[in-house]
Chains A and B, each alone.
Chain A
Amino acid sequence: MILVGAFYSAGIYMMFRRSMVKLLLGLLLLGNGANILIFLMGGLTKGKAPIIKPENSKFLEVYADPVPQALILTAIVISFALTAFAIVLLKRVYSTTGSDDLDSLNIQDLDI
């Protein structure tokens, strides 16, 4: 729980910085925070596989929910792709503008 809070706050703090790399790191931290939140919300149960015993027809005791893990796996793959894209984008921006400073990117809003 504390970890989730730390991830979210650090992520948001990083996003408010002017540097583009820190913006990206902030987004990554937020994404990971969300993943752990999913994990947490699924309920943590140790050592109880979600397998129904042959003699029963349904779950009788608490079991580890497999769905959050599937969700996180999907989310991780997606965020991996997005991050790869964002890094390339940042590199392109850096090579076209020659600056890592987000405030130098506001020129076009000035012209109408």
Chain B
Amino acid sequence: MTTNFILAPILMHMFTAIVLLFFWQKVLIQKIISIVGNSIAFLLCLRLFEMTLSQGYLTLQLGGWEAPFGITFISDTLSAIMVLLTALVSLAVGIYSTSSLNVSRIKYGYFFIFHFLIMGLLGAFLTGDIFNMYVWFEVVIISSFILLTVGGKKMQMEGAIKYVTMNMLASVIFLTAIAVLYGITGTLNIADIANKITLVENKGLVTVTSLLFFVGFGIKSAVFPLYFWLPSAYHTPPSAIAAIFGGLLTKMGIYAMLRVFTVIFQPDSFTLVLFSVIAVLTLITGALGTINKRSFRRILSYLIICHIGYLIAGLSLNTELAFIAIVFYLIHDVIVKSNVFMISGVILKMRETVDITRLGSLLKDYPKFSLVAALVLFSLVGIPPLSGFWPKIYFFQESFKQENYILLAALIVASFVTLFVIVRIWAEAFWKESPKPITEEIDHFAPFSLSGKIALIAPIVCLAAVSLLIGFNANSVIKLSSKAAYEMKHPEIYINNVLGPKE
């Protein structure tokens, strides 16, 4: 059904950002506006999600131009899930950053850029037009450049150079792919392209185009040979920014891949083999990268790469069951990854370092916080009742069924290495005695006011509760993921909803 409501979350973030501009340099007012804006946007996203579930596809043809000519916005189950996750994480990180960031950063327009970033993400998830998706990507990357570099020291600058270069390169490749696709189909609407691409005779060119898209999105989501910018960039910015990046930016690339490779291109056997090889390599390199690192943030950066491998593995298996696993894993991963980055930020405040060999006795000093942190860390591994467990089972089961044993082995190895690394973090940072006595100067957490502490801890606890809820309520999440997977396996529903039913 057609509705204008689909734009409401996007416009809400834009509106918040514009209002924030009027309160440049006024830190307290900015914080309040940002939290209010985030909360309203969260409610709007919740409503959008609920409407999409109850009424099926929501579409909007901008300016009343009919489908292949105008720009389409569409919300199916997958988009709705991503939108809801984005809203949840942005609300949590928004509250967290009111207390974790220093005043000068907020004065330089942190919240303003933050809302533009979220707006870009929501736009990318909701658009039904490939060029429009490119534009939203650009909105996101230019905001992320600014967030990454504002107030930067030397190390942050080094990471930023790599990040900026790789992302600009990814955009150029994405643009090239769009150019070729436009050349062979003559349209930009995703649904219309999907219709026309089946008529193209030169199948080789179609495959090449699909791989150009894969490379473009692959750089953004940090898959195997293209991942190196991520570990050098993601551990440098403040943890609030890293949380948004780690949780959502790489997933945007994955979402775009899912969209392109389910609706537009139907992967042939060559592409599937390529995906599977890349998945194996991503899993292994990501996992190996974590082992020799001592900094908590660096370990997390490599874990992001490792876990992107799971999603690519799902894409290479290319069955409905694998798609269920992907959607479930996305839900789990977005929430948990943002949360661990926020936890690393709190640890940094408590101990002035995130080097795990120099950390210690967190469990003794902060028992309740450690309990929450343990819950989050172990759900990253997927200890049974926690949220990471269910999608992994599906991945294992499906790769076993397809007799792709190398992929299965890589999945299991990656899972074990994750377990090893998490246990190591737990033992080093939380369990063992601190190597040097904790003095008052080191602990920046205790002097915080009560409201400051609540703003730091409450988002972590809420996200941990959500991931617990996902774990214990796996049945309904699987039902939701199955709906999304069914829609991904049947792109004709998507096409008919955009272009109207065929006569």
Interface residues of A (CB under 8 A from B): 15, 20, 23, 27, 30-31, 33-35, 37-38, 40-43, 65, 67-68, 71, 74-75, 78, 81-82, 85-86, 89-90, 92-93, 96-97, 102, 105-109, 112
Q: Which residues of chain A are near B293, meaning CB under 8 Å?
A: 112
- Interface pick from B155-163, B360-368, B435-443: B155-163
Tell whether, in the assembled complex, residue B161 and residue A38 are in contact, meaning their CB atoms are under 8 Å apart.
no
Ranked nearest first, the 6 interchain pairs of A and B with the lowest CB-CB distance are A41-B183, A38-B179, A34-B175, A105-B158, A37-B179, A30-B172
Contact of A89 among B135, B164, B178, B183 (CB under 8 A): B164
Add 11 more A-B contacts to A67-B182, A78-B171, A97-B158 (CB < 8 A): A27-B168, A30-B172, A31-B172, A38-B175, A71-B131, A81-B142, A85-B164, A89-B161, A89-B164, A97-B154, A105-B158
| Cα of A93 to Cα of B168 in the assembled complex, Å | 17
| Cα of A27 to Cα of B175 in the assembled complex, Å | 13
Q: For the complex, would chain A's binding face be called helix, strand, loop or mixed by DSSP majority?
A: helix
Residue B53 lies at the interface, judged by CB distance under 8 Å to chain A? no
Contact of B149 among A42, A92, A109 (CB under 8 A): A92
Contact of A38 among B158, B182, B294 (CB under 8 A): B182
Tell whether, in the assembled complex, residue A82 and residue B142 are in contact, meaning their CB atoms are under 8 Å apart.
yes
Q: Which residues of chain A are near B145, meaning CB under 8 Å?
A: 85, 89
Q: For the complex, would chain B's binding face be called helix, strand, loop or mixed by DSSP majority?
A: helix
- Known contacts A75-B175, A93-B161, A96-B157: does B169 contact A27 (CB below 8 Å)? yes
Contact of B142 among A85, A108, A112 (CB under 8 A): A85
Q: How far is the CB of A111 from chain B (nearest CB, A)?
A: 8
Interface residues of B (CB under 8 A from A): 131, 135, 138, 142, 145-146, 149, 152-155, 157-162, 164-165, 168-169, 171-172, 175-176, 178-180, 182-183, 186, 188, 232, 236, 292-295, 298
Tell whether, in the assembled complex, residue A96 and residue B154 are in contact, meaning their CB atoms are under 8 Å apart.
yes
Nearest residue, chain A, Cβ from B154: A96
Q: How far is the CB of A7 from chain B (nearest CB, A)?
A: 11
Among B169, B175, B293, B295, the one with the most A-chain Cβ atoms within 10 Å of its Cβ is B175
- Known contacts A27-B172, A89-B145, A112-B295: does B158 contact A34 (CB below 8 Å)? no
| Cα of A37 to Cα of B155 in the assembled complex, Å | 37
| Cα of A96 to Cα of B182 in the assembled complex, Å | 43
Q: How far is the CB of A78 from chain B (nearest CB, A)?
A: 5
Q: How far is the CB of A102 from chain B (nearest CB, A)?
A: 7
- Known contacts A42-B182, A97-B154: does B135 contact A74 (CB below 8 Å)? yes
Write 12 A-B pairs (CB below 8 A) sorted by A numbering: A15-B169, A23-B165, A33-B172, A37-B180, A41-B179, A41-B182, A78-B138, A86-B168, A89-B157, A96-B152, A105-B157, A112-B294
Tell whether, in the assembled complex, residue B157 and residue A34 are in contact, meaning their CB atoms are under 8 Å apart.
no
Tell whether, in the assembled complex, residue B179 and residue A78 are in contact, meaning their CB atoms are under 8 Å apart.
no
| Cα of A103 to Cα of B294 in the assembled complex, Å | 24
| Cα of A86 to Cα of B180 in the assembled complex, Å | 27
Nearest residue, chain A, Cβ from B159: A108
Nearest residue, chain A, Cβ from B69: A67
Contact of A92 among B157, B295, B298 (CB under 8 A): B157
Q: Which residues of chain B are near A65, meaning CB under 8 Å?
A: 186
Q: Which residues of chain A are near B149, meaning CB under 8 Å?
A: 89, 92
Nearest residue, chain B, Cβ from A105: B158
| Cα of A108 to Cα of B186 in the assembled complex, Å | 46
Q: Which residues of chain B are near A23, meaning CB under 8 Å?
A: 165
Tell whether, in the assembled complex, residue A67 and residue B161 are in contact, meaning their CB atoms are under 8 Å apart.
no
Tell whether, in the assembled complex, residue B176 and residue A34 are in contact, meaning their CB atoms are under 8 Å apart.
yes
Among B155, B161, B169, the one with the most A-chain Cβ atoms within 10 Å of its Cβ is B161
Q: How far is the CB of B314 from chain A (nearest CB, A)?
A: 30
Tell whether, in the assembled complex, residue A30 and residue B169 are in contact, meaning their CB atoms are under 8 Å apart.
yes
Tell whether, in the assembled complex, residue B180 and residue A34 are in contact, meaning their CB atoms are under 8 Å apart.
no
Contact of A82 among B138, B161, B178, B183 (CB under 8 A): B138
| Cα of A92 to Cα of B94 in the assembled complex, Å | 28
Tell whether, in the assembled complex, residue A109 and residue B164 are in contact, meaning their CB atoms are under 8 Å apart.
no
Q: Which residues of chain A are near B146, meaning CB under 8 Å?
A: 85
Q: How far is the CB of A109 from chain B (nearest CB, A)?
A: 6
Tell whether, in the assembled complex, residue A92 and residue B152 are in contact, meaning their CB atoms are under 8 Å apart.
yes
| Cα of A43 to Cα of B184 in the assembled complex, Å | 10
| Cα of A78 to Cα of B138 in the assembled complex, Å | 7
Q: Which residues of chain B are near A38, meaning CB under 8 Å?
A: 175, 178-179, 182
